[in-house]
Amino acid sequence: MIMKVTKSQLAIIAIIVMSFALSIYFYPQLPDKMATHWNAKGEVDDHMGKEVGAFIMPVVMTVTVLIFLVILRIDPLKKNIEKFKSYYYGFIIAMCLFLFGIHWWMMLWNIGVKVSVNRVMPAAIGALYFFIGYIMKNFKRNWFMGIRTPWTLSNEVVWKRTHEVSGRLFMASSVIAMCGVFFPEYSLLLILVPILATAVFALVYSYVVYKKISNAELNGTADEMRIGEGSGDTTWDNIKEGYLYQVERSLLKVKHPAKKQVLEDVNSHLDRRYDELSEDERTWENFQQIITEMGPATDYAELLTPETLAGSHASSQKSLMGIVVSVVAVIVTVIVLVTVLSNKQGAYELQEVSNVENLGHPFENDPEAIGYWKSVDFVEVVEDFVPETKSWKGDLFLKDFTFKPNGRTSFSWTWTKDWVWHSNGRAKAQYKIKQMAGETYLFLPWLSDDVTIRHQKPSYYVLKKLTSQTPQIEPTPGVYSAIQWLELIDNGNYGASWEEAVDIFKNAATKEQ
């Protein structure tokens, strides 16, 4: 028997396959140690071997999808999930696209195409918030997805009203979160604060609505037009609650003193028809027949003021079209903004930190800097460092650093007194040397061959001076000669290195040595 695969499932499978394919494609270009985690300042604070880091996001995506599929089978209210299954799968697809986008960004970052995480995450999370808010009103009661409070889970109407309001708040939160694209230094707050406020409001709101419904004080307002608690624990309760809710929503669109009475009459008629059925006749088919006999829920409002309701239908259709257009507009706007800002970011950062004469700056010697330095710590500010106490818990990416004469270093960087330039000549870091506890320490701002985000200061590698020269090796005559020859290369004496290479090695060692 071949199991039928839906279009939604095919889309999910395609996204997962593409994410693994992306990892395989970029794998040869990735560094052995990948950046895999960024702190609130947008700085890399954790690395992972590319054997794991290249595939971590596709694996997370796969596990997430499997969990959602398991929920379809184990939720006590899984029949309710079936009622909004298309939205359920839509949410899974949205999550997969979100993770796929983050995965793509991470791959690009690690091969050198670096867009700040504090610009990417507000746009990505904001778009996800907006989509969740848009579909939230279609969620049915279940134990795993949506606003699950004791009051929403115990009452169908409380669930619906809470999700309608919370959906609008989610969409508002998305707009606030996307503002983090323009204010990256506050992006974390703009992402978290609105959604936490929404969660607190939903909790309180669901309780308030539940109490109003329980009191059954029907006076014709949106929050009070309800009859009984209607727990929805049985099939009939679910069907009845759903129909009454649609009637209630229809009646709220018109102004008429008899609308409360209409709702009560509909409820009484439903109860009477149910009581007329024997135990054997209380089947799902007969319940559906009762609803069919009652007619469309909108008919009851039309009996009161048909003209008003007709206008409301047109208004609803326009509103729906407006929402769809808004969703498309927001998505397009986010894509354009991120693209433009990403392109401008590099130019802005370059202007901010490289207000120097690049590599043409005259060299000024610093005898105190020349020598071999060993990394011992990584701190946010110089004052945080305590000798012989390591505050950084992870491995240190920069292991050591050597300042050589004439502005050379152990990397492809150059230096002059107080400053180190990256190899591309775009970024410079001002180092500091301090005497502490009888030792000499160098504090090197870490720019990682790119530039920090506006208004953010780089952290410091702390290096301890071990010798005045490069790390010592037990020099055999051949090794010593090789070091001499390499110094000619380092100093740019290429002609001399060519002429003296053979003589240096022959004089230093015999063929046997």
Which pLDDT value is given to residue 483? 65
Q: Which of 107-116, 127-136, 382-391, 495-504 has the least mean pLDDT?
A: 495-504
- 286-308 pLDDT per residue, tens: 888 888 888 887 777 777 764 44
pLDDT-based confidence at 406, cuts 50/70/90? confident
Give the model's pLDDT for residue 473. Answer: 46
Q: What is the DSSP string of 463-491?
A: EEEEESSSPP----HHHHHHHHHHHHHHT
Alpha helices for 34-148 (secondary structure H): 50-53, 56-74, 78-83, 85-110, 117-136
Which candidate, 160, 163, 167, places its Cα nearest to that of 226?
160
Q: Which of 246, 230, 236 is CA-nearest to residue 287?
A: 236
Q: Is the pTM higher than 0.85?
A: no
Read off the tokens for 272: 């009477």
Q: 253 with 308: CB under 8 angstroms? A: yes
Query: What letter would DSSP give residue 351?
Result: H
- The angle formed by the CA atoms of residues 17, 18 and 19, to the nearest 5 degrees, is 90
How does residue 80 score in pLDDT terms, banded at 50, 70 and 90? confident
pLDDT at 270: 87
CA–CA distance, 415 with 446 (Å, rounded to integer): 14
Computed over every residue of the chain, the mean pLDDT equals 76
Tokens for 420, please give them. 């180190």
Nearest alpha carbon to residue 326 among 172, 487, 180, 486: 172
Overall size of the chain counted in residues: 513
What's the token pair of residue 168? 């609008």
φ/ψ of 88, rounded to 5, equals: -60, -50
Strands 44-49 and 33-38: antiparallel
What the block records as the tokens of 472 is 């010592």
Percent of the chain with pLDDT over 90: 26
H helix runs in 231-305, sequence order: 235-251, 259-276, 284-294, 298-304
Tokens of 352: 């901010």
Q: How confident is the model at residue 408 (pLDDT cuts 50, 70, 90)?
A: confident
Calculated CA dihedral for residues 274, 276, 279, 282, nearest 10 degrees: -40
What confidence tens digit (pLDDT) does each residue in 439-473 have?
999 998 876 544 444 444 678 899 999 864 444 44
Tokens of 230: 């209607």
